[in-house]
Structure 1
Amino acid sequence: MRSSLIECSCHGSTFAIVDGTVKEGPAWTALPERKVTHQDGRLQVTKARWRTRGGPRRPSPGV
């Protein structure tokens, strides 16, 4: 591992690898915890179950 950050290839946000907190946006919520295993020299991460509706929303300005 070369860094303590994860970078989103879609939007460029960076997250702390230790706890998923946002280090640089545009993301505004932390990444969920995932199980990571090491096998045959590769890291395996469980797939996320992304919510398409009803998930957390960005707060409205002034709230």
Structure 2
Amino acid sequence: MVIPVSLDYLSGKTDTELDSATLGRIREISVMPEDDKKQVFLVLDALIRDYKARKTYAQ
């Protein structure tokens, strides 16, 4: 199995490695019309914000 990684990951500029499922989702989002992308990002931003808040309050 080949796992695609970015040049930044290979060169050590980042430690983020995306699995194929995540990368596939990003590709799907990248071809959406701008209005649809904005909606997806709004939902993602809200989910990430809520995750960070739960994580903070759990400590």
Q: TM-score, normalised by structure 1?
A: 0.29
The answer to which structure has the higher strand fraction is 1
TM-score (norm 2): 0.30
- The structure with the largest helix share of the pair is 2
Larger radius of gyration: 2
Structure having greater relative contact order (Cα 8 Å, sep ≥ 6): 2
